[in-house]
Chains A and B, each alone.
Chain A
Amino acid sequence: MIYVRLTLVLALVLPSLAFSGSVAAQENPYFVAYDHNLEEPGNLEVEYFSTFGTQRAGKDFHSYWTEFEYGVTAWWTSEFYLDAQTTFHDSTVYSGFKWENRFRVLKHEHWINPVLYAEYEDTNGTDKTLKEVVGHDAELDYLTSNAEARQEHKREMELKLILSSNTKGWNFSENIIAEKNLSNEPWEFGYALAASRPLALKGSATRCTFCRQNFIVGAEMYGGLGDRHSFGLRETSHYLAPVAGWNLPSGWTLRVSPGFGLNDNSHKFLLRWGLSREFKGLDQLLRRMFGAKS
């Protein structure tokens, strides 16, 4: 059923994209961390991501989500997510939606570039995307069956301070996360750190698919920092994950990341992969749809 629903949503969006051209992307390979590079104004990036997770004393799962990322201006990117999840030998369920906005704070590039992030989440307890780890996260929390977990309804606000630097071909990103369930629960905190670099810094003089410049590799580390009452690195999960991205000249980007839990609270292994494509000129398409003169 969930495939039917997601297909319906995509069926609404994809035909309209056919009128736009694709554009060669220069995407980072991260799954969890954010850098300060925003979507170009008027462009839409459609992304599909998957996370396969192992579960000790329980059933492994596969969660997946679709993102629609739009560059509203050069300093503001807005993104909409639809999440779903399959727990093996259990069921497939729709987990909810998220709407995030990222705002670039400073006009010019600096040694460290801050970006403010605000997200509203409307999900149920089956959400296993692990897009961020906050609070006292533990693998045991994911043992609940889908039927039971979907009864829980969560409305959350998530704030991030994204600090990011580009230097000598490297990107270094640090994210500080604060999340609040809008019901009466304490603020929870988390972190994500990441670094990446293309395999070659110079552009090739010919169009090529397998040029080293198209491949970006790096690593992410992320985990919880407890909550307002007990802040710290203990009693929560932490992960370390190599990441790799491949930006194809056709506009597609492929990403893959095997992640490893660093303590007993973490899932032992997470395998993430993603596929995305950037489309230029959605703003022009909207102009035409709403009858603006060209």
Chain B
Amino acid sequence: MKPAIGALLLCAMFLAISQLSANSVSTWPGLNSMQFHLGGDTYAELRKAPNKAVNRPNPMENDGQAVAAGKLLFLDHCSECHGDDAKGGRKGPSLRVSDVQNATPGTLFWLLTNGVVRKKMPAWSKLPEPQRWQLVRFLRSPEAVPNPSTDAATKP
């Protein structure tokens, strides 16, 4: 049993050190942690999508259930990093910015499929294609990005 406990302690130490070293840099004053994680230009990866991917239409575009299903998938798999309201969190950038909203459905699908694995965004190819398209529908829907005027009107 002694080796097992030793190995467990070793793993815990190793994980702690890796976390500390990763996180110590992101708390430098004046440095946006998301910019650090994703490079100087947070959304640069979107521009790397190949033309073939950019031009792919969303097969779920006319699916009445796609936005609702996409919202559940977002809450299950994406909100942990990007926040429940997609405004960004400690680990992931905002998805309500124009870079994301102006990207084609095919570009967003490509990014979801491939991730940015060198910069902490996992590849989501384990979700079946229809679910990834449902996520794309949700991300580009008014539910994910409320109209600012509607927002203001609903505030007390």
Residues on A facing B (Cβ under 8 Å): 5, 9, 23-24, 26, 28, 35, 37-38, 40-43, 68, 70-75, 78, 80, 82, 94, 96-97, 99, 104, 107-109, 122, 166, 168-169, 171, 198, 201-207, 213, 249, 280-281, 283-284, 286-287, 289-290, 292-294
Q: Which residues of B contact A28 (CB under 8 A)?
A: 126
Closest to A82 in B: B4
Q: Which residues of A contact B119 (CB under 8 A)?
A: 74
Q: 20 A-B Cβ contacts within 8 A?
A: A23-B80, A37-B123, A41-B122, A74-B116, A74-B117, A78-B14, A94-B4, A99-B11, A109-B114, A166-B125, A202-B128, A202-B130, A203-B70, A203-B73, A205-B65, A286-B16, A287-B20, A290-B19, A292-B20, A293-B27
- Give the distance to chain B from A85, nearest Cβ to Cβ, in Å: 14
Q: Across the interface, do A26 and B77 meet the contact criterion of CB distance under 8 Å?
A: yes
* Interface residue? B97 (CB, 8 A): no
Q: Which residues of B contact A24 (CB under 8 A)?
A: 76-77
> Chain B, 66-103, contact with A by CB distance < 8 Å: what is the 0/1 string?
00111011001100100000000011000000000000
Q: Is the interface of B mostly helix, strand, loop or mixed?
A: helix
Q: Across the interface, do A80 and B130 meet the contact criterion of CB distance under 8 Å?
A: no
* Interface residue? B31 (CB, 8 A): no
* Interface residue? B24 (CB, 8 A): yes
Q: Across the interface, do A201 and B131 meet the contact criterion of CB distance under 8 Å?
A: yes
Q: Across the interface, do A74 and B80 meet the contact criterion of CB distance under 8 Å?
A: no
**Interface residue from A43, A70, A75 paired with B15 (Cβ < 8 Å):** A70
Q: Across the interface, do A107 and B121 meet the contact criterion of CB distance under 8 Å?
A: no
- Give the distance to chain B from A106, nearest Cβ to Cβ, in Å: 9
Q: Across the interface, do B69 and A80 meet the contact criterion of CB distance under 8 Å?
A: no
Report how far A11 CA is from B49 CA in the complex, Å: 47
Closest to A23 in B: B80
**Interface residue from B23, B70, B77, B129 paired with A292 (Cβ < 8 Å):** B23
- Give the distance to chain B from A131, nearest Cβ to Cβ, in Å: 17
Q: Which residues of B contact A205 (CB under 8 A)?
A: 65, 68-69, 72
Q: Which residues of B contact A43 (CB under 8 A)?
A: 80
**Interface residue from B7, B117, B129 paired with A104 (Cβ < 8 Å):** B117
Q: Across the interface, do B19 and A122 meet the contact criterion of CB distance under 8 Å?
A: no
- Give the distance to chain A from B110, nearest Cβ to Cβ, in Å: 9
Closest to B63 in A: A202
* Interface residue? B107 (CB, 8 A): no
Report how far A254 CA is from B76 CA in the complex, Å: 18
Closest to B127 in A: A26
- Give the distance to chain A from B111, nearest Cβ to Cβ, in Å: 10
Q: Across the interface, do A290 and B3 meet the contact criterion of CB distance under 8 Å?
A: no
Q: Across the interface, do A108 and B69 meet the contact criterion of CB distance under 8 Å?
A: no
Q: Across the interface, do A78 and B120 meet the contact criterion of CB distance under 8 Å?
A: no
Q: Which residues of A contact B70 (CB under 8 A)?
A: 203
**Interface residue from A42, A108, A286, A294 paired with B91 (Cβ < 8 Å):** A42
**Interface residue from A40, A72, A94, A109 paired with B18 (Cβ < 8 Å):** A72
Closest to B20 in A: A290
Known: A26-B126, A290-B16. A202 touches B131 (CB 8 A): yes
- Give the distance to chain A from B137, nearest Cβ to Cβ, in Å: 10
Report how far A72 CA is from B8 CA in the complex, Å: 16
Q: Across the interface, do A97 and B3 meet the contact criterion of CB distance under 8 Å?
A: yes
Report how far A42 CA is from B23 CA in the complex, Å: 12
Closest to A166 in B: B125
Q: Across the interface, do A74 and B126 meet the contact criterion of CB distance under 8 Å?
A: no
Q: Across the interface, do A80 and B7 meet the contact criterion of CB distance under 8 Å?
A: yes
Q: Across the interface, do B125 and A202 meet the contact criterion of CB distance under 8 Å?
A: no
Closest to B132 in A: A203
- Besides A37-B125, A75-B117, 20 more A-B contacts (Cβ < 8 Å) are A5-B1, A9-B8, A24-B77, A26-B77, A41-B120, A74-B120, A74-B122, A122-B4, A122-B7, A201-B128, A201-B131, A202-B65, A202-B134, A203-B130, A205-B65, A280-B80, A283-B19, A283-B23, A284-B90, A287-B19
Known: A26-B77, A107-B117, A284-B90. A201 touches B130 (CB 8 A): yes
Known: A109-B113, A169-B128, A203-B130. A75 touches B118 (CB 8 A): yes
Known: A38-B122, A203-B72. A198 touches B27 (CB 8 A): no
Q: Across the interface, do B72 and A99 meet the contact criterion of CB distance under 8 Å?
A: no
